[in-house]
């Protein structure tokens, strides 16, 4: 198996496990990843953590050896497939955290960008080096990177192919935390910051924010009003507000 699903306390962990190719995303790995997302979506984990096996790489990108000599239509089809697999992260019932434990290049950084949050090991290196191959990103990098770090920084990273280290990634807002040591342990600690909240409210919050940069302000405010109204319909909202009034800790039940 090149993609392993495991459990770490209340968290699901997906590990890319193809160390001989620095966990590169072959077509087979992408298909396994899609199945792994389905498995996690059907389970009861509070958060999904995505990482790479070994100390060297989170994921070195799409499998370059498979990219050579394909027809235009095969290329278009495979780019759309890869995009769809990574977009699944936005529809999971729980948030996701990329634990970037080493190189995250090309499709690897695009996978991390598709997660809700990113935590990097101190020695992690991140970049979109496709330009050095005569290519441009194809699994969402040109769209998600500017949303995360702004147009100027995204243009620089994509057009120079320059890799950045964990500290720079933190400074520009590409990652949320730099780990003291192990990236998965840091991702777990980060996830504890929200894993006690109700999943419906977390999902509505993620959806509202994710849509913010895709629509004009007036439309975004209308989306927020709708999703906020939906949040009020949950039992968790009744519980959360009751607990506040009664000066006790809320017990959310994801309903
Ligand atoms: N694909 C396939 N194999 C890879 C990849 C990759 N992306 N990255 C590394 N490998 C393999 C190497 O070929 C090598 O295998 P072998 O021993 O059989 O030659 C093994 O992994 C170890 O790699 P290195 O010996 O190169 O290790 P180093 O420590 O010297 O270097 C690097 C590590 C710097 C990460 C280097 O491997 C590297 O530059 N890798 C390529 C990074 C890259 O360019 N990534 C972007 C790929 S393109 C992409 O992601 C586009 C996504 C959208 C496309 C849409 C498609 C439909």
Q: Which of 157, 175, 191 is the last residue of a domain?
A: 191
Kindly state if the Cβ of 71 falls inside 6 Å of ligand 1: no
Q: How many domains in the chain?
A: 2
**pTM for this model (two decimals):** 0.98
- Active-site annotation holds for 10: no
- Do 81 and 101 belong together in one domain? yes
Asked if 121 contacts 130 with a C-beta cutoff of 8 angstroms, the reply is: no
Domain assignment of residue 254, yes or no? no
Kindly state if the Cβ of 24 falls inside 6 Å of ligand 1: yes
- Do 167 and 237 belong together in one domain? no
Q: Which of 147, 171, 191 is the last residue of a domain?
A: 191
For residue 7 the two structure tokens come to 């459990």
- Do 208 and 176 belong together in one domain? no
- Do 179 and 233 belong together in one domain? no
pLDDT in tens, the chain (255 residues): 999 999 999 999 999 999 999 999 999 999 999 999 999 999 999 999 999 999 999 999 999 999 999 999 999 999 999 999 999 999 999 999 999 999 999 999 999 999 999 999 999 999 999 999 999 999 999 999 999 999 999 999 999 999 999 999 999 999 999 999 999 999 999 999 999 999 999 999 999 999 998 999 999 999 999 999 999 999 999 999 999 999 999 999 999
Asked if 33 contacts 63 with a C-beta cutoff of 8 angstroms, the reply is: no
Q: Residue 17: which H helix or E strand, with range?
A: none
Q: Which of 20, 39, 110, 167 is catalytic?
A: 110
- Do 213 and 180 belong together in one domain? no
CA–CA distance, 107 with 234 (Å, rounded to integer): 37
For residue 106 the two structure tokens come to 């090309």
Whole-number Å distance, alpha carbon 21 to ligand 1 midpoint, is: 7
Whole-number Å distance, alpha carbon 61 to ligand 1 midpoint, is: 7
Q: Can you give the residue range of the structural domain that contains 203?
A: 199-245
CA–CA distance, 154 with 138 (Å, rounded to integer): 14
């Amino acid at each position: 198996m090149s993609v392993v699903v495991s459990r770490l306390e209340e968290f699901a962990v997906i590990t890319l496990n193809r160390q001989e190719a620095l966990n590169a995303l072959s077509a087979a790995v992408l298909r396994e990843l899609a199945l792994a997302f389905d498995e996690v979506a059907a389970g009861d984990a509070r958060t999904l953590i995505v990482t790479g096996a070994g100390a060297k790489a989170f994921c070195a990108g799409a499998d370059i050896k498979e990219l050579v000599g394909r027809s235009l239509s095969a290329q278009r089809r495979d780019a759309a497939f890869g995009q769809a697999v990574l977009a699944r992260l936005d529809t999971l019932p729980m948030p996701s955290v990329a634990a970037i434990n080493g190189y995250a290049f090309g499709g690897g950084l695009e996978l991390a960008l598709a997660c809700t949050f990113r935590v990097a090991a101190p020695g992690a290196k991140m970049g979109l080096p496709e330009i050095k191959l005569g290519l441009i990103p194809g699994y969402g990098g040109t769209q998600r990177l500017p949303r995360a770090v702004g147009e100027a920084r995204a243009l620089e990273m994509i057009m120079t192919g320059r890799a950045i280290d964990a500290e720079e990634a933190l400074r520009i807002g590409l990652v949320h935390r730099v780990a003291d040591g192990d990236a998965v342990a840091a991702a777990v600690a980060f996830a504890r910051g929200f894993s006690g909240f109700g999943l419906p409210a977390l999902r509505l919050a993620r959806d509202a924010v994710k849509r913010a940069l895709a629509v004009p302000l007036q439309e975004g405010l209308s989306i927020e009003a709708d999703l906020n109204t939906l949040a009020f319909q949950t039992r968790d909202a009744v519980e959360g507000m009751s607990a506040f009034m009664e000066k006790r800790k809320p017990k959310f039940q994801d309903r």
